[in-house]
Amino acid sequence: MIKGSHFRNLAINRPPDTYGKLCLLNSVGQEMSRCKTSIRRGQPNPVYKETFIFQVALFQLSDVTLMISIYNKRSMKRKEMIGWISMGQNSSGEEEQSHWQEMKESKGTQVCRWHTLLES
């Protein structure tokens, strides 16, 4: 996860405090593993530059889904989802499916693409 762009907090007139959550799901939607980025405070275009590694057997790669969600961390442990995408078996769109396919074929080489978040 490299960066986000044009995040805004509609409730107050300042950029949100955001973090990303990545969740790997198996073919029936059960969570296999998850991780989060650190919080980027008050940045409309946060740079995360964080790498996450998930252990997945090669034969399972076509049967898993990677959910990527961006959250606005609010006060008192409250959070709200800004948006999400998914890649893999249950991709949220053609771009995400294409990105997943390219990553599978890249054999360990990093593949970077921009994605537009879907509203929660």
- Averages of pLDDT over each 10 residues, the chain, 120 residues: 76 82 96 96 91 90 95 81 95 95 88 90
Largest CA distance in the chain: 48
Quick one: tokens of 118? 């879907």
- Domains in the chain, start-ordered, CATH in brackets? 18-105 (2.60.40.150)
Between CA 67 and CA 57 the distance in angstroms is 18
pTM of the model: 0.88
Q: Are the C-beta atoms of residues 98 and 91 closer than 8 Å to each other?
A: no
pLDDT recorded at residue 77: 72
User: Which element (helix H / strand E) includes 20?
Assistant: strand 18-25
pLDDT recorded at residue 89: 95
Q: Are the C-beta atoms of residues 25 and 67 closer than 8 Å to each other?
A: yes
pLDDT recorded at residue 12: 64
